[in-house]
Amino acid sequence: MSGPAATGETADIPSVESVEGTGVPVRGNDVDTDQIIPARFMKVVTFDGLGEFAFFDRRFTDDNEPKDHPFNEARFQDATVMVVNANFGCGSSREHAPQALVRWGIDAIVGESFAEIFAGNCLALGVPTVTADADTIAALQDWVDANPDGEIAVDVAGETVTYGDTAVEVSVEEAQRQALVEGIWDTTALMRSNRDAIAETARSLPYVDDRDAGSGRVDD
C-alpha cells in the first residue's frame, strides 16, 4: 500500500485495476472481526505492526504454539489474495481488521459475501472485496490449496478472476469498482473540494446551529 500523500488536496491515489499474486484460503462462514483481530491488540494508537496479530487466536494456543491455520503455513506466506466464504468480516467496525490483513500482505479478498462495514473499510484502503457463488469459491480455495505458488489475477475492472487455465466471472460492487479503477477510493480530498456545497447543506438543516460553527472552516 502506498501511504497517504502529504496533503489532502494533492493526494495521489493509485488506481487498483487488478491485483495479481498467489492465494491463501481462509475457510468458514461468519468469520467475525474479533477473530480477524482480537480486541486486546487494539490498545494502540497506530495501525503499525498489526500484521502479526491477524487471526491471532486462530493461529496460536495460549502458550503461543502455532495451530493449524493457513496464515501459519510456509507455503502461503507470500500470498496477496485471500479467498474466504460467506459474511466475512461481520461484527465490529474496527478498521484494525483490514489493516491487520493488509499489513500481513493481503491486497485483495475474494469471497462469497462480505459484511458491509468491513467491505467499506477495505475500500478505504484500496483493497478490493470481490464476490462469487459458493461453488466458484470452493473450487478456487481447493485450487489454491493444491497450487500455493499459482498466480491468481483479480481483474477489478473486468470483474473476472483468473487462475491456472480457468477464468471465472466475479462481482464487484459498482461504487467500489469505480472508486478502485478510477483511483478515487481515498475520498478526503475529493469531498473536501465540495466545501461550498457542504456549507449549503449544513445551512439547510434546521438542527445545525451555525451560530456555533466556530471559525467556520468548512466555509473557507
- Touching other proteins, residues 157-186 (CB under 8 A): 173-176, 178-179, 182, 184, 186
Q: Give the shortest CB-22-to-other proteins separation in angstroms.
A: 26
* Short-list 138, 141, 130, CA closest to 169: 130
Give the interface segment with other proteins, choosing from 12-20, 41-49, 68-76, 152-160 (CB under 8 A).
41-49
Give the residue, chosen from 15, 20, 21, 47, that forms a contact with other proteins under the rule CB under 8 A: 47
* CB-based contact 148:74 (threshold 8 Å): no
- Asked whether position 2 contacts other proteins by CB under 8 A, the answer is no
- Asked whether position 1 contacts other proteins by CB under 8 A, the answer is no
Q: Which is nearer to other proteins, 162 or 178 (CB)?
A: 178
**C-alpha distances out from residue 193 to 126, 190, 196, 218, 219, Å:** 21, 5, 8, 10, 11
* Short-list 126, 129, 128, CA closest to 186: 126
* CB-based contact 185:179 (threshold 8 Å): yes
**Coil, helix or strand for 77?**
coil
* Short-list 134, 181, 137, CA closest to 155: 181
With b meaning 16 or more CB within 10 Å and e meaning fewer, what string describes 91-127? bbebbbbbbbbbbbbbbbbbbbbbbebbbbbbbebbb
Q: Which is nearer to other proteins, 167 or 197 (CB)?
A: 197
Give the residue, chosen from 17, 20, 32, 145, that forms a contact with other proteins under the rule CB under 8 A: 32
- Asked whether position 197 contacts other proteins by CB under 8 A, the answer is yes
Three cell numbers, residue 22: 498467489
Give the interface segment with other proteins, choosing from 68-76, 84-92, 141-149, 163-171 (CB under 8 A).
84-92
Q: Which is nearer to other proteins, 40 or 165 (CB)?
A: 40
- Asked whether position 153 contacts other proteins by CB under 8 A, the answer is no
Q: Which is nearer to other proteins, 93 or 166 (CB)?
A: 93
Taking residue 204's Cβ as centre, other Cβ atoms within 10 Å add up to 8
Site residues for other proteins, 91-150, by CB under 8 A, read: 91-96, 98-99, 113, 115-117, 120-121, 124-125, 134
Q: Which is nearer to other proteins, 168 or 198 (CB)?
A: 198
- Asked whether position 90 contacts other proteins by CB under 8 A, the answer is yes
Helix/strand/coil percentages in the chain, nearest 5: 40, 15, 45
Q: Which is nearer to other proteins, 55 or 163 (CB)?
A: 55
